[in-house]
Structure formats: structure tokens, C-alpha cells
Amino acid sequence: MISDLLQKDIEELYPSAIVQQTAFWSKLKQKTGLKSLALDFKSNSEVLFNQAANNQMIQSDMLLILQPINANYCIAYAPYGPELEPSEENQGAFLESLSENLRPYLPKNCITIRYDLQWESYWAKDAAFFDNNGIWLGEPAARAQEFRFNYSTQYWNFEKAQTNILPSHTFFIDLNLPEQSLLQKMKPKTRYNIKLAQRKEVKVRALDISQIDIWYKLYQETADRNRFFVNDLHYFENVLTTKANDTLSPAEVFLLVAEWEDKPLAAMFLIISEKRSSYLYGASSAKHRNVMATYALQWEAIQLSKAKACTEYDMFGASPTPDPSHPMYGLYKFKSGFGGKLFHSLGCWDYPLLQKQYDIYKAFESQAVGFHIS
């Protein structure tokens, strides 16, 4: 199913709407001390896609990040990769073939390949997994997921990871629509809050690296309020300053801040790769929430994305359902108001290479399950 798999230079990674599969992302991760691999491969369209019009070879690639887990072992992590998405019935066999072909290129101490798949969940396409109100009921137990995923494979080796690393539930906004249509698709309260922010004269502007402390102060306040993992200032300096313009897959980064009466109230990182823009990191103050700065910020990001010829906006992470008990429900409530479509992906899947060491690692992970961005 996979042929001609070869390692190539990071700079040769193909342009992609998935920023986590670009040379930009590799360069960013290299600044944090992580090594990465770029791999090129070919696949037969008739084998990948059940209704392929003609038989042809499809050339694709993938970025892998090598993440140490202790002094002796590492994992090979594919952030939202591979991008190539076969027909549902062939996905397990495709990834199995890819995994086996990858073995010679990975370190001997690599215990597993972890695919963080942005492919749509099987159970998000099945009406039986939605209630009468159209609310998704979620995936079945891990064992049932693994049975379905491995069905077309030879070795039945895939295991559902203990946790998803990148968001597996997100809202995508179709930016092909004119601005007035985008506003009409929003919930009335969201539309009202955008207009209220305009009446209150909330201003949105871009920050440069010399002003990143404005971002970080808001970010620390948000982290303290919501008790999530905190990246250090140097990480965000790297996000803002990393360049990959000498590669096939660069990205454009904007740090936006919404201010009212010269007070910074909300900020975000907007990253554009190919025709997709992504709301990657956000922060806000608990003060002056009545001026709706976060709504002004998102609307500016949408308008900027359209101006940059993007066709979709990824709001990057929310709870899978409107469940008030979910830790990400607040994000669901806020982001759903902007009229996007909720997308459920398959999340993280592991292909163990060193089974004994992997079982120990999986047991350790089960004690520390949680959402974080990598």
C-alpha cells in the first residue's frame, strides 16, 4: 500500500493547511530542543480510495516529532498527521503499511509511533451516535474503537492512546462566505456582542516581539484562572519569530490584542498556513468583560483571515458536546456562537514498536490523562 518511503529535508515538506505538518512547525519544535523527521511516500489511489476514478500514484509526506519520554526512550509523534486520508475502510491498513515502512528510519529506542489524526471520527458520521436533538453521544469504549480501526489490518497492532494531545474536537468556519453571511450564521448573542464591542470602541491591533509581555501577562492571568499548563515566555517568543520562508511550507503568525481605553483585555495567536487560519493560543482578562473584547478579537481574526485569502478558520478546541460539566464547556459555549461546524476527529492512535516498554508507558500515561497542546 505504501511504496518509495524516503526521508527528505525538512525544508521540502509540502505546503499544507495543517500547520502542524509544515516545515514551520518543525523549525518551531527544533527551537524547543526536539528533533524531527520528514518522510516522503507514494500510495496507490485504487487501494486508498474505494471509488477512485483511475489508478494513479499519490505522492504525500508526513512530519514526525521525536519526543523523549525519559533518558532511554522516545516516541515518534505525528501531529495531525498524516494529512492524506484514505477511505474509512482502508485507513487502518494504510497506517499499518506506513508504520512498518517507517521502522528503519526511527531510533532503536522508539517505543511507539503516535498518530494524532485529524481524520473525521467514524462515530461522528453514524446517526446512531447522536441523540434526538442532534447532540453527539461520543465514541464507544476503547476496545470497540480498536476493533473497528484494526479491522482491515494484518497485525491488529493499533491501540487507542490514553489521551489526545492536540484538540480532537473543534469548530471550523467556512470563510468562503461574505462577511454579512458570516455574521448571519452566528448566534444572535454573538452577533450582538461583536456590535457592542464596536460601540464600546474596542480596538484590535497586532503586537510585535517587543510587546510580547502584553500577551504573556494576559496568558498568565488566564492560566491562573483556569489552572492549565503554562508555557514559558521563551516558547511564545519562538512562535512569533520562527520563520520558514526558505521552505515549501512556511506559515504566517500574528499576535493580536484587543484593547479598551488602552487597556489590553484579550489576545491571541493567529497562524495561517495555506488556506487555513488557526486560533492557536488565546488569553483574556477577567476585568471589563462587559465590553466584549474577546468577541472583537475573534471577529478581527476572521476578517484578517479572509483578507489573507483563507477559506477556513479553525477555532482549535472545544468540548465535544454542550455538557456544562466538561472542563472545556466554556470554550464550546463561546466558540459555537460564531456559526462554525463542530468537527470530531479520531484523535491519537499508537502503533507500538517495543511492546513491553510501551505497556509501561501507557500505564504511566493513564495516571496523568489530560489535554495539552504540543
Whole-number CA gyration radius for the chain: 21
pLDDT value of residue 212: 98
pLDDT value of residue 368: 66
Place of cell 453527539: 136
Distances (CA, A) of 52 to 55, 121, 164: 7, 22, 32
**Residue 372 dihedral angles phi and psi, to the nearest 5°:** -150, 160
Q: Could you tell me if 253 and 28 are in contact, meaning their C-beta atoms sit under 8 angstroms apart?
A: no
CA distance 319 to 317: 7
pLDDT value of residue 85: 96
Which residues have C-beta within 8 Å of that of residue 116, sequence separation ≥ 6? 20, 77, 78, 79, 80, 81, 164, 165, 166, 347, 348
CA distance 263 to 126: 47
**Buried b / exposed e along 250-265 (16+ C-beta atoms within 10 A):** bbebbbbbbbbeeebb
What percentage of the chain reaches a pLDDT higher than 90?
A: 90
CA distance 76 to 327: 28
CA distance 169 to 345: 6
CA distance 340 to 25: 25
Q: How many C-beta neighbours within 10 Å does residue 246 have?
A: 9
Domains and CATH numbers, the chain: 2-167+345-366 (3.40.630.30), 176-310 (3.40.630.30)
Q: pLDDT by residue (tens digit) across 302-320?
A: 999 999 999 999 999 999 9
Indicate the burial class of 88 (C-beta count within 10 angstroms; 0-12, 13-18, 19 or more). Answer: middle
Helix (H) or strand (E) holding 77: strand 74-79
Q: Is the dihedral of CA 80, 82, 85, 86 positive or negative?
A: negative
Give the residue ranges of the chain where pLDDT is below 70: 52-53, 368-374
Taking each continuous run of H as one helix and of E as one strand, the counts in the chain are 11, 13
Q: How many C-beta neighbours within 10 Å does residue 231 have?
A: 16
pLDDT value of residue 371: 39
pLDDT value of residue 374: 35
Question: H helices of 56-125, where?
Answer: 91-102
Q: Which three cell numbers stand for residue 18?
A: 495543517
Phi-psi region of 316 (alpha: psi -120 to 50; beta: other; left: phi over 0): left
Question: H helices of 44-119, where?
Answer: 45-48, 91-102
Q: How many C-beta neighbours within 10 Å does residue 368 have?
A: 8
Indicate the burial class of 89 (C-beta count within 10 angstroms; 0-12, 13-18, 19 or more). Answer: exposed
The residues with which 172 forms a beta bridge, in sequence order, are: 314, 341
